[in-house]
Each structure stands twice: as structure tokens, then as C-alpha cells.
Amino acid sequence: MARGPFDPAFEELPAEIPVFPLAGVLLLPGGRLPLNIFEPRYLAMTRDAIKGDRIIGMIQPAELERPGHAPALQQVGCAGRITAFSETDDGRYLITLAGIARFRVADERPGQWGYRRVRADFTPFTEDMAESPSLELDRARLLRALKGFFHQQGIKADWEQIERTTDSALITSLAMVCPFEPQEKQALLEAGTATERGRVLTALIEMALLGGTGSGSSGEAARH
């Protein structure tokens, strides 16, 4: 993933980061995730991030949230940097997170203003910030399955644009936007390499065509 002029170097990534637990939503290195922030704790999180290094960790909860109980978190998430934000007249933030690198939760730290913070270990994922990570993709097989999957899901696509998209960007965007179940999103996140993620993605799409998946929702980000 090419590093932007405002992105931190790997050794500059913070040891502690705020996290936004959100089921069914995936951020990957190199991807961009729009978020609609309105809950008071996450408004505070966003304000603090904007005043600091602008980094927020997206992570899925490992269990359902219950009143008065903070759900356990998955062990792997992805840190993103706020690259754009705006304020709305009704008190919301509209932000865009650009994925930087995955992290493993070392432990959870005391929270602030109702939002959660973790000590993030980025060391297992140094390749996420490599300029040209190696990638092998059976693109023809993926696109054959994708056309059937989009037809099944009623999704319209610009196939000319898809054909022009690089393998890396295609895998990232499809993994983020396709309506997979939360555990399937987590499998895509935890795939060790871009090549492995492409294989997992292709397998999930082919399974969906056989009726094995595809009922999840990646649109929940629009509601937070």
C-alpha cells in the first residue's frame, strides 16, 4: 500500500488508539470507509481524534452488546486515519477513515468519555504498509463469481470500471462492501496476505452463489 504524504510511518503508529466496535463493518489497509457519527461517546472519540493524530481503530465486537455490558472485542482490527470530516447542523460528524494497518489488541486501556481504547500491536502486520505487496489473484474466476453474486443480490455495477481496477484495490473494495456475515468479514480482515484475502473473498462469493452466505450487512456504518 502506497503511503500518503500525511500518513504516519510504521514506526510512528501510536501505541494506544481509540476503537469503534461495529459489527459487520470492515476497514482494510488502503480502503476508505465513510462513517456517520452521532452517539455522544463516538462524537467525543471523533473530537479527540481530530485534535490528535486522527487515528481510530475499527474493530468488530466478538459478542452482542447488552445494556450495561461492554462486549468483548475481536482480537484483530484495522486502524484508519481521518482524512475528511464535516459537521452537520443536527450535531453529527461525517468522516472518512483511510485504512492504514491492521493491529492486534494487546490489552484494553481505561476508556475516556464513554468510548474504548486499546493498546495496539501493529508488529504482526508490517506488510500492510509495504509499497508493493506481492499478490496473486485468479481474477477471471473472481469476476465470473462476482457477476453471478451481484445478480443474486440485485447489485448494479460499473463493469468497465471494475475491469480497470487493480487487483489489490478490487480485493479491498469488494471485501469491504459485499454483504457478508460479521464472521466472514473478520476472516477477510485476518487473512495473512493480499493473496490469501483474494482466495477467501472468491470462496465466500462462490459459497454465496450456493446459498451459503450473503445475508450479512455492511451498510451498518451508515447508521453510526
Residue boundaries of the structural domains of the chain = 10-131, 139-209
Q: Which of 2-11, 15-24, 27-36, 166-175 has the lowest mean pLDDT?
A: 2-11
CA distance 131 to 129: 6
Q: Quote the pLDDT of residue 4.
A: 73
Q: Quote the pLDDT of residue 117.
A: 97
Q: Is pLDDT above 80 for 55?
A: yes
Q: Quote the pLDDT of residue 220.
A: 36
Helix (H) or strand (E) holding 79: strand 76-87
Q: Which of 17-21, 53-57, 215-219 has the lowest mean pLDDT?
A: 215-219
Q: Which grid coordinates are listed for 71?
A: 462486549
Structure confidence by residue, pLDDT tens digits, 178-190 = 999 999 999 999 9
CA distance 58 to 219: 15
Structure confidence by residue, pLDDT tens digits, 118-165 = 999 999 999 999 877 679 999 999 999 999 999 999 999 999 999 999
Percentage of the chain modeled with pLDDT above 90: 83
Q: Is pLDDT above 90 for 111?
A: no
Answer yes or no: are the C-beta atoms of 171 and 204 closer than 8 Å: no
Q: Quote the pLDDT of residue 123.
A: 97
CA distance 36 to 21: 14
Q: Is pLDDT above 70 for 2?
A: no
The number of beta carbons lying within 10 Å of the beta carbon of residue 64 is 8
Q: Is pLDDT above 80 for 94?
A: yes
Q: Is pLDDT above 50 for 66?
A: yes
| Amino acid at the residue 139 | R
CA nearest neighbour of 19 among 125, 121, 92, 105: 105
Question: Which CATH number fits the domain 10-131, given the four candidates 3.30.70.240, 3.40.50.150, 2.30.30.100, 2.30.130.40?
Answer: 2.30.130.40
Place 31 in a pLDDT band, splitting at 50, 70 and 90: very high
Q: Quote the pLDDT of residue 133.
A: 67
